[in-house]
Amino acid sequence: MNDAKAQTIRLADYRPPAFLVDDVHLTFRLHPKHTTVTSRIHFRPNPEVTERRFELHGECLSLKSARIDGRDSKPHFAGGILTADVPDAPFIWEAEVEIDPSSNTALEGLYISNGIYCTQCEAEGFRRITFYPDRPDVMARFTVRIESDDLVTRSNGEPVPDSPVLPVLLSNGNPVASGPGWAEWHDPWPKPSYLFALVAGDLVAHTGTYRTSEGRDVTLNIWVRPGDEDRCAYALDALKRSMDWDERVYGRAYDLDVFNLVAVDDFNAGAMENKGLNIFNSKYVLASPETATDRDYESIEGIVAHEYFHNWTGNRITCRDWFQLCLKEGLTVFRDQQFSGDMRSHAVKRIDDVLMLRARQFREDAGPLAHPVRPAEFQEINNFYTATVYEKGAEVIRMLKTLVGNDAYSKALDLYFDRHDGEAATIEDWLKVFEDTTGRDLTQFKRWYTQAGTPRVSVTDTFNHGTYTLDFEQHTRHTPGQFEKSPQVIPIAVGLIGPNGDEVVPTTVLELTDERQSFSFDGLGSRPIPSLLRNFSAPVILERQTSKEERLHLLAHDTDPFNRWEAGRQLGKEELVSRIANGSAPSMAWLDSLNRLANDESLDPAFRALALSLPSEDDMAQTLHDNGVTPDPGTIHDAREGMLADIGKALRPTLTSLYDNMDVPGTYTPDATSAGRRSLRLKALNLLVCADEAQMELAVDLFATTDNMTESLGALSILLGKGEGEKQAATFYEKWRNDSNVLDKWFAIQIANATPEKAVARAEALTRHPDFHWKTPNRFRAVIGALAGNAAGFHDPSGAGYRLVADWLIRLDPVNPQTAARMATTFETWTRYDGDRQGKVRDVLNAIRSTRGLSPDMNEMVSRMLDAQPCESRRENQ
Ligand code: ZN
């Protein structure tokens, strides 16, 4: 199964398909071990191609028969490619293959999750269902017939139960016909094979309807296992709001009679946008106040929207090839960010998104796995569903919108949908609609798609006779395989604040295009304080020598909420850096400012909770490394904990009153306002407990009395973080042992919040727990992923954390290479650390790489991490 040879695929080698497909007819005769798939495909030569070879992809298929225009064919098959002699004219290909869903643990193609047949075809999983040109530039209309396994076993003469439960049988598009044990579907919209889906099983629907702006009535079904139907209301509501939003904001209406969404427990990713049949990881569908946290609700809203928005950005307009992945993902992430901002708070959403971008994408850009938003080559495309493609991809679109303005953005999007509907498009097509709309030349802007690495922008300023000048310099460090970097177009949103706190120049967007460039503001009465990169107008690292006074001034007076938060974050980071270096206590000025923010009732509680948060340990490790200091994760952890305690002591009266007053009375609702209050309240509680163990009683009480998962999990995490909470964890387990989504949380928080000395041992113990179903990706991530996320525990100087994670990756790899390879990114920061730790990581990476039968997925990841030149050795004169 894993014998496919590692092969590098290059964007430069793209060739259009030799044959196009008009219609596909598929018949599935379901059987857990012997499902047969019959295909009937109408091919025709692509007139744009002169030299034609007929090639179909296929993996893990057993071919029973093949016919071309009704005559038996003996195709040739090697290395995952089937070839056959075909006419130089339209023809019909028919094949029957057998597949075994029951043994499919990779969760690619057709598999069974808790008795439910389901599929995952993106990126290249359709080739595990039947022979097909499994590439996104081949778009076809699909008609699908599904026969249930009861029907199939009966016709095979195998015994069937007296009264079999007739399963729900779903595929893409609209239902055409059905009877007992069979159903037929037709999808009128041509689509690539990666959007194909099939679901069959004992499911129930939580149903709603939606009338589109075009007057079409759409049936909405959220399909779940019996018993879960009362946890679907929020997802359905989020879906309706997404449909409405896309009509209002992008003018895009839904285009089928039915929209089906299915929740499954075994899933490699968050969710999948299959046409008319979205399949979701159940954790991003099911929610009730008792089982889901405020964060879960927010994720459900965002992911339901994301997958729904793909219907236009991804499905109606798809990608020509997988190098263009950001065409659909960057744009769809940007759209879901806009949507969540509209539903909640724009400022808080932007801060959350930037926190995520820095934690995951900047980290990726700074290490051996750095790659452009549009990579030029890959071995395994599944390894490129990354923070760079998704999140930086969204930032690039945000910048484009900032540069051209809102009106031009809307016009360009209208043109994009008009011009490319029904096509498989490229980044060149995307940029061209902006060029045609605005007359701008986007040649330089395109570097955002082709150049890897986070640009660093350094700024100095001068003030002379009423003229204030900002001098910028941009520079991007080299990344693996890309030594030369050229200047990029960087929109820098700037405002100027006067010494008395007034805004003397409102937000202006400066366009930095050169390596060095200056911008001046005239007629100022006194030297202003600059508020730079407002709302994080570009995904860059801003470097500026500035004083604590300036940061405090912005923290108090900036009109841009993002930069207000940013000023506080930078102050906190500087305080932490000096505490790590020399144990220094926090400054009074900073503590005062925190106290003022925490008390400021004009500010959104969610914003205050963010302002009271310190940078993560991983963020501090990257910061030290950037400053030329080798980070020690244990020291960082202790300094950060000490800082939390000092804040808790200094702000105690404020925190106590926040804890008392931020309570949300009445029945739980997941709205942003209530969630913000709970978040601030838990933040206050954590600081109080960090400062004084006696305050632990508050967390014990909260855990015992709360009726919602947010506070239950929040209180338990706080206790676990102090080495307590064992009794509460046991209670929690007894209560939720039969709920897999909640049990995942139970596994994860015990490891995520474990003290550094205990983290590895606790993770190790939990891998021996009877509920550690490690083949389920959610459970694997809850345990192994949680250890990888506990920085000080994972980087324990003994190397035990590295070994435990590596051992489990080696074990998971043959079972589920996608999920294993994804988690290998936990080692991407290894060159930051001391020689001892580096040696230990190198050992485990080599052990993984030399494992027999290693998947191409894992081989690519580990090789990139081992073979990249460490940044230090070639770092330019920083
Ligand atoms: Zn997506």
| pLDDT for the residue numbered 874 | 43
Six-digit token pair at 512? 């930095």
The DSSP code for 822 is: H
pLDDT value at 322 more than 70: yes
Compute the distance between CA of residue 576 and CA of residue 573 in angstroms, rounded to an integer. Answer: 5
Nearest to 20 by CA among 138, 161, 102, 183: 138
pLDDT-based confidence at residue 164 (cuts at 50, 70, 90): low
pLDDT value at 483 more than 70: yes
Compute the distance between CA of residue 428 and CA of residue 462 in angstroms, rounded to an integer. Answer: 40
Q: What is the pLDDT of residues 596-610, one digit of tens each?
A: 999 999 999 999 999
pLDDT value at 270 more than 50: yes
Nearest to 131 by CA among 70, 44, 63, 199: 63
- CA 123 to centroid of ligand 1, rounded, Å: 12
- CA 55 to centroid of ligand 1, rounded, Å: 28
Q: What is the DSSP string of 657-719?
A: HHHHH----SS----HHHHHHHHHHHHHHHHHHHH-GGGHHHHHHHHHH--SHHHHHHHHHHH
| pLDDT for the residue numbered 157 | 79
Compute the distance between CA of residue 734 and CA of residue 820 in angstroms, rounded to an integer. Answer: 30
Compute the distance between CA of residue 244 and CA of residue 237 in angstroms, rounded to an integer. Answer: 11
If DSSP states are collapsed to H, E and C, what string results for 563-624?
HHHHHHHHHHHHHHHHHHHHCCCCCHHHHHHHHHHHHCCCCCHHHHHHHCCCCCHHHHHHHH
- CA 300 to centroid of ligand 1, rounded, Å: 14
Other C-beta atoms lying within 10 Å of the C-beta of residue 268: 20
Tell me the mean pLDDT in the region 554-571.
98
pLDDT-based confidence at residue 870 (cuts at 50, 70, 90): low
pLDDT-based confidence at residue 163 (cuts at 50, 70, 90): low
Q: What are the helix and strand counts (H, E) for the chain?
A: 32, 31
Q: Where are the beta strands (DSSP E) in 238-276?
A: 258-264, 271-272
pLDDT value at 449 more than 70: yes
| pLDDT for the residue numbered 439 | 98
Other C-beta atoms lying within 10 Å of the C-beta of residue 653: 10
Strand 198-201 to strand 116-120: parallel, antiparallel, or no bridges (unpaired)?
antiparallel
pLDDT value at 783 more than 90: yes
Compute the distance between CA of residue 561 and CA of residue 564 in angstroms, rounded to an integer. Answer: 5
- CA 355 to centroid of ligand 1, rounded, Å: 20
Q: What is the pLDDT of residues 684-737, one digit of tens each?
A: 999 999 999 999 999 999 999 999 999 999 999 999 999 999 999 999 999 999
| pLDDT for the residue numbered 875 | 44
Compute the distance between CA of residue 594 and CA of residue 556 in angstroms, rounded to an integer. Answer: 10
> Are the C-beta atoms of 540 and 455 separated by less than 8 Å?
yes
Mean pLDDT of the chain: 96
Task: Report helix, strand or coil for 86.
Answer: coil
| pLDDT for the residue numbered 5 | 55
**Chain CA centroid to CA 295, Å:** 14
Nearest to 191 by CA among 116, 256, 240: 256
Q: What is the pLDDT of residues 638-684, one digit of tens each?
A: 999 999 999 999 999 999 999 999 999 999 999 999 999 999 999 99
Sheet of strand 516-521: strand arrangement: 516-521, 467-475, 456-464, 541-543
Exposed/middle/buried for residue 548 (C-beta within 10 Å: 0-12, 13-18, 19+): middle
Cα–Cα distances in angstroms (integers) from residue 875 to residues 206, 477, 487, 869, in the given order: 56, 7, 18, 10
Asked if 307 is an active-site residue, the reply is yes
Task: Report helix, strand or coil for 498.
Answer: coil
Nearest to 659 by CA among 635, 679, 629: 679
Residues 6+ positions from 542 with CB-CB distance below 8 Å? 457, 458, 459, 532, 533
Six-digit token pair at 642? 């000490």
| pLDDT for the residue numbered 413 | 99
- CA 816 to centroid of ligand 1, rounded, Å: 21
Cα–Cα distances in angstroms (integers) from residue 755 to residues 43, 637, 638, 671, 720, in the given order: 61, 9, 10, 33, 8
Tell me the mean pLDDT in the region 128-144.
98
Cis-peptide into 847, omega within 30 deg:
no
| pLDDT for the residue numbered 149 | 85
| pLDDT for the residue numbered 876 | 43
| pLDDT for the residue numbered 152 | 75
The DSSP code for 357 is: I
pLDDT-based confidence at residue 869 (cuts at 50, 70, 90): low
Compute the distance between CA of residue 236 and CA of residue 239 in angstroms, rounded to an integer. Answer: 5
pLDDT value at 403 more than 70: yes
Q: What is the pLDDT of residues 15-61, one digit of tens each?
A: 999 999 999 999 999 999 999 999 999 999 999 999 999 999 999 99
> Are the C-beta atoms of 815 and 779 separated by less than 8 Å?
no
Strand 318-319 to strand 55-57: parallel, antiparallel, or no bridges (unpaired)?
unpaired
| pLDDT for the residue numbered 1 | 37
% of the chain beyond a pLDDT of 90 = 96
Compute the distance between CA of residue 286 and CA of residue 742 in angstroms, rounded to an integer. Answer: 11
Tell me the mean pLDDT in the region 465-494.
97
| pLDDT for the residue numbered 154 | 74
| pLDDT for the residue numbered 2 | 39
Q: What is the pLDDT of residues 211-257, one digit of tens each?
A: 999 999 999 999 999 999 999 999 999 999 999 999 999 999 999 99
Residues 6+ positions from 202 with CB-CB distance below 8 Å? 115, 116, 165, 167, 168, 225, 226
pLDDT value at 153 more than 90: no
% of the chain beyond a pLDDT of 70 = 98
- CA 265 to centroid of ligand 1, rounded, Å: 19
Task: Give the position of tokens 């090839």.
Answer: 321
Compute the distance between CA of residue 253 and CA of residue 244 in angstroms, rounded to an integer. Answer: 8
Element (H, E) at 81: strand 81-83
- CA 333 to centroid of ligand 1, rounded, Å: 7
| pLDDT for the residue numbered 150 | 80
| pLDDT for the residue numbered 287 | 98
Nearest to 88 by CA among 135, 58, 59, 50: 50
- CA 19 to centroid of ligand 1, rounded, Å: 28
- CA 376 to centroid of ligand 1, rounded, Å: 20
Task: Give the position of tokens 């039969």.
Answer: 738
Q: With b meaning 16 or more CB within 10 Å and e meaning fewer, what string describes 708-725? A: bbbbbbbbbbbbbbbebb
Q: What is the pLDDT of residues 324-369, one digit of tens each?
A: 999 999 999 999 999 999 999 999 999 999 999 999 999 999 999 9
Catalytic residue among 307, 391, 617, 828: 307
Q: Note every long-range contact of 522-526, with CB atoms under 8 Å and residues 24 or more positions apart, other chains counting.
A: 522/466, 522/467, 523/466, 523/467, 524/463, 524/466, 524/467, 524/468, 524/496, 525/466, 525/498, 526/498, 526/499
